[in-house]
Structure 1
């Protein structure tokens, strides 16, 4: 054996040989600067130039060295049929070594003392059409390198790195007398600022070197504040804990009380202070309770809901304005609200005349008699009448037919003028929604006001729901030019009563002949100059959609039931029965 390994021959190198192959050859390049043996530090030696020269001249195969021709025997880890032929130019280009011809078609490395490198493990199989020189060139870390070029520092294993050349490196070693122990990473930061911190030095036995004078150095004046900070921190922590426990206890108690305890409620019928509360349409008991609580009437919405649920009439509470007292018990508030008379509203029924509406407003708002009538007479257009209203100068009251029947909320700020405006606005909106302007002419009428007038007559003459459409049919049939029975006269007693301001169902023939007024339908043809009442929704719809039954006459025999006929003979018979009943009633 030589100093680099066994003598050349056909026997392959044994892997157990400590000098077997190149320690960096395992199919990958050896990482520069990495210690190949073990994990601990080893003594490093500088690289000799001769070794660099020899390393650069190594050939690719162990058989091609020391002048011997290459052996034909395959490597143990190589497929027996995968023998490779290497051209000298390829070998020289891949490894940078000098080759020479043996004279027998074989080539060898020029340097006879170059050690034989270990062949790469895992030769390509014969099925893979790869040439050996290309495969080794990809794995050789020294392929293409200049043989005598200076290698970078630390580029070879075993070269000593510089551990103190950068800012991130460890500080250089100090003499034993000046060494200090490494800081404990688990120690508290405050230990560095303590004025009584003692400077220690670590020797081989870890002995005490000395201490810093008291009151001097970096931690001066901080030693006396530390106990105070500790006491203050404890005090703050105690206050926080007490606050958290106290707040949690309060909210916990409040939650339990709200969740499981009885709802908060006042007692009695309230204080002397009154307040107006408006309940909107569609409000449920919960919303009512919230509104009452906001106004200070009840203590909680839950108490109101419980009281209303316990009351049999609690579900009959209507929307509107209520005058209630503050701090009432929920039961007392419910007792007031289930009574419709306690509602602070003005309910306007269907069929009322304008003069009757004025009187109702004065009474509700506690105004002197005639106050609302004077306002209506002074500026009717200013109350919001549509442009097509009051187009006839013979109209007795321009607001007649425009005071829409409904319920109106009344508050302390409500005035007669504000109520009249609300009523006119509701009527105008209703007529617009029903399309009165467009449908008037289709019904043979001249203006939308005449359509309102028909509806007002239907409202007064009809007593029941079933009567409205038949009554509308009677009016349209009597207005026809082909009517030769009444000659286009309506002959309604209701028009006489409107003119006189009465409600007499038995109007004499003599009265009908004496009253010379356009509202006298016994004397004048066609409709009255304007409406004679304020019709409701049913009468309005009946005026738009008459019955189409051919009715011409009607008689209310007992004042409650209306009978309709198509011929005048049937009508005369019913009139005779009515007169006989009236005579018997009066004792005649």
Structure 2
């Protein structure tokens, strides 16, 4: 910044300076012989920056304003060399008091208006504080503070460092010794590891690192460092051990081999029940609960590696404890190990009870007794109870399928499986909703129709035509049989038999409600357990007008007729084949 002919690094005024005299600026001689009240140090005014640009090289005959020129104050007095105190800092107090006195003497004197300072010259007589050029060799003296302002203490306190010498007597500091080298906060030394005490450092008035190192004693610091490092190592070591342990457990669970037994078992047999629709996880959990496999994951892995692993059927299986997962999968796929109870379509309840007794290894009649005494607690739907003259309330609800039944199980548990399966299937096909559309009194009658279709039909192709025969004979307009079904199957159910040749005298003499020869309409309830096809046939009968049928070969061939005359011809055919 230009300061009227003197640069920031110019030397103080000298009497032999050629610029003193006629070469200086015009107002100088008017104040010749006056000493500057500022101790020879020039003042800097912000307004003079603009003035200097307008005056250019005025007053020096074209010489550059940045030459080595002395500086003058506003009264034309040259500034002598600044004075320093014992710490090498400029003395401002006496100079400032002299400045105040000089300003009072000249506050009413108006300087001629100078170009570039507006119309009124100096506005209030108050001047901004003077700026002094910095000593290039002083790294802390780049810009001294103004008069009266608080001087920034770049050296801390007097206890922290010795006072700096004046610029003329300063000497370069020696390089630090290697054994006193301090890495500093940016080189890895942290208060935690250095044993620093924040409170003690504040009490010391911000002493430097050198004072901490020398005055406090190295042994105490090293002792605190060692304890801190030991604590950190213990914490980090314990954390690392915990992470390693849980990491290993996680790896073993997610990526390691699942725990598994070896071999085909320990010889101790156990029965395992696999529910219908169970997946690998459910099967594995049941096997682990019974002690067959060691882990669920091992079984799932073995099942997935077996090409037929997903074809495991529901049911009861006889396995051994502590088997390898691979051996368990192979036995579950082997029909010989399956302890299932398979109920065929059309089986009557009395036959199913005997099968359950045998499968469970209980005395004959045990399951029939349970069914008779506990039928209300086995899960029947509301529409299947409170019907008159029913011989067995569970008839029609031991749904044909495969069930897990093995020694050790209770008959009631097996019966509950069957009733639940039947109820599920009847809901699925809409038995309750579709009964009314067929002219029947609720789903119970629809189930009874399906049981008759199942019992009288010899082949699957017969079911829909047999269903139409039932509906046509139940019609009030039926004059052929007068609403009597005349089915041998219902009489055989009543008698607990399966005969083809029944005498008319035997049939006509029995007035039991299940005898459809002597009673109109449907029997009181189902006469067996119909399967899926018989149920669907009862829902969708043919509409061809069939009202008669005869098993012409007496075994598997059934023929249908629409009139009584056609029926008589079929009867002759049956008599011929049976030898009557």
TM-score tier (shorter):
0.5 to 0.7
Partner Cα separation in structure 1 for residue 70 and residue 481 of structure 2: 137
Q: How many residues align?
A: 464
Partner Cα separation in structure 2 for residue 238 and residue 438 of structure 1: 71
Give the match for residue 576 of structure 1: 572
Structure 1's unaligned 5+ residue stretches are 24-40, 65-90, 99-144, 194-210
Give the match for residue 64 of structure 2: 16
Shift of 1:270: 0.5
TM-score by length of 2: 0.63
Give the match for residue 78 of structure 2: none
Partner Cα separation in structure 1 for residue 567 and residue 181 of structure 2: 122
Partner Cα separation in structure 1 for residue 316 and residue 572 of structure 2: 51
Partner Cα separation in structure 1 for residue 247 and residue 526 of structure 2: 71
Partner Cα separation in structure 2 for residue 572 and residue 372 of structure 1: 44
Partner Cα separation in structure 2 for residue 574 and residue 565 of structure 1: 8
* Residues 1:521 and 2:516 aligned together: yes
Partner Cα separation in structure 2 for residue 328 and residue 351 of structure 1: 39
* Residues 1:97 and 2:121 aligned together: yes
| Matching residue within 413, 417, 431 for 1:418 | 413
Over 3 Å counting, the alpha-carbon distance change for 1:380 and 1:159 in structure 2 is: closer
Alignment deviations for residues 287-344 of structure 1 (CA, whole Å, 9 cap, x no partner):
7557645654345668756766786755532133433222223453233212335334
Over 3 Å counting, the alpha-carbon distance change for 1:515 and 1:217 in structure 2 is: same
Superposition pairs for residues 528-539 of structure 1, below 5 Å? 528-539=523-534
Partner Cα separation in structure 2 for residue 171 and residue 578 of structure 1: 132
Partner Cα separation in structure 2 for residue 530 and residue 248 of structure 1: 64
Over 3 Å counting, the alpha-carbon distance change for 1:146 and 1:298 in structure 2 is: same
Shift of 1:533: 0.9
Give the match for residue 61 of structure 1: 115
Give the match for residue 124 of structure 2: 146
The answer to whether the Cα contact below 8 Å between 1:461 and 1:494 also exists between their aligned partners in 2 is: yes
Partner Cα separation in structure 2 for residue 11 and residue 520 of structure 1: 139
Give the match for residue 489 of structure 2: 494
Partner Cα separation in structure 2 for residue 235 and residue 43 of structure 1: 55
Partner Cα separation in structure 1 for residue 218 and residue 272 of structure 2: 72
Shift of 1:477: 0.4
The answer to whether the Cα contact below 8 Å between 2:314 and 2:403 also exists between their aligned partners in 1 is: no
Give the match for residue 136 of structure 2: none
Give the match for residue 183 of structure 2: 186
Superposition pairs for residues 383-402 of structure 1, below 5 Å? 383-402=378-397
| Matching residue within 461, 465, 470 for 2:465 | 470
SS in 2 for 1:380: helix
Partner Cα separation in structure 2 for residue 245 and residue 452 of structure 1: 65
Partner Cα separation in structure 1 for residue 526 and residue 328 of structure 2: 43
Q: How large is the RMSD of aligned CA atoms in angstroms? A: 5.2
Alignment deviations for residues 223-280 of structure 1 (CA, whole Å, 9 cap, x no partner):
78999999x7999799889979998998999799958xxx876443211344444445
The answer to whether the Cα contact below 8 Å between 1:164 and 1:172 also exists between their aligned partners in 2 is: no
Over 3 Å counting, the alpha-carbon distance change for 1:391 and 1:266 in structure 2 is: closer
Partner Cα separation in structure 2 for residue 227 and residue 431 of structure 1: 81
Give the match for residue 332 of structure 1: 327
Shift of 1:517: 1.7
TM-score by length of 1: 0.63
Alignment deviations for residues 155-179 of structure 1 (CA, whole Å, 9 cap, x no partner):
9976567999678861127769xx9
Partner Cα separation in structure 1 for residue 247 and residue 430 of structure 2: 66
Over 3 Å counting, the alpha-carbon distance change for 1:522 and 1:11 in structure 2 is: closer
Give the match for residue 157 of structure 2: 171
Shift of 1:352: 1.5
Shift of 1:577: 1.7
* Residues 1:552 and 2:538 aligned together: no
Alignment deviations for residues 69-98 of structure 1 (CA, whole Å, 9 cap, x no partner):
xxxxxxxxxxxxxxxxxxxxxx33xxx527
* Residues 1:564 and 2:560 aligned together: yes
The answer to whether the Cα contact below 8 Å between 2:455 and 2:528 also exists between their aligned partners in 1 is: yes
Structure 2's unaligned 5+ residue stretches are 1-18, 28-53, 72-87, 134-142, 164-172, 197-212
Partner Cα separation in structure 1 for residue 325 and residue 232 of structure 2: 50
The answer to whether the Cα contact below 8 Å between 1:163 and 1:170 also exists between their aligned partners in 2 is: no
Partner Cα separation in structure 2 for residue 192 and residue 163 of structure 1: 38
